Structure 1
């Protein structure tokens, strides 16, 4: 007798697609936030957390490691690109690239921590269900 698949068993997308999805979502919402307010705000934080959770639920079990290391890399990539374009959006206007990235990461560290924790927690639960 087969049982219906649970939410934890549903993920079937390859890791490289989750990398593309995570970057696309984070960059899109950062751009939307910059267009709307001129700064990276809590809107980006909330959507980043949701994207981390979505990636953890959608990835196939063979690519858990890829998604497990992805949230900090996505946020770092987004903030490097934002700092290249407009350092004042994540730091002070006169800050250099490295200082702007560090300021952005420290300002949005709560979102990074929550998103990463939810991602890893979801992957751990999924691993127990798949095994």
Structure 2
């Protein structure tokens, strides 16, 4: 292995909007498949959600880390809200309104959301460190003085 070869952490080079669009498409596909297999959104969706969060963080180019960094909670919110509008019984009680069904759906999938989000942010942090190490400069730090 030569020093010029790229590591897993340096491989991502896709634009953020493409990664986000693919992630949402995959999540909506997983939602559809999960609902075809059962009446409620379940473990299949949660596993795909966590996997998509990690994969998105690995595929995005460094300039678009922010886009993928905010993607997991927004993607979960969009998915659950769409279900709350179209099929509230899949994430909550059938008679629940949109807001209540959305809150219930988010709470039922909170563990997947937290794991997926932490995994995504962790991968982005490691990639940021690897990029800084490769370029020979220290990772950018936020100044606390004003």
**TM-score normalized by the length of structure 1:** 0.98
Map of 2:61 onto structure 1? 60
Map of 1:4 onto structure 2? 5
1:74 aligns with 2:88: no
Map of 2:124 onto structure 1? 123
Which 4+ residue blocks in structure 1 deviate beyond 6 angstroms? none
Structure with more contact order per residue of length (Cα contacts < 8 Å, sep ≥ 6): 1
Quick one: distance in 2 between partners of 1:105 and 1:4?
Answer: 41
**TM-score normalized by the length of structure 2:** 0.88
Query: Aligned-pair RMSD on alpha carbons?
Result: 0.9
Map of 2:96 onto structure 1? 95
Q: How many residues align?
A: 131
Quick one: distance in 1 between partners of 2:99 and 2:36?
Answer: 23
Quick one: distance in 1 between partners of 2:3 and 2:129?
Answer: 19
Gaps of 5+ in 1: none
Gaps of 5+ in 2: 133-146
When Rg is computed on C-alpha atoms for both structures, the one with the higher figure is 2
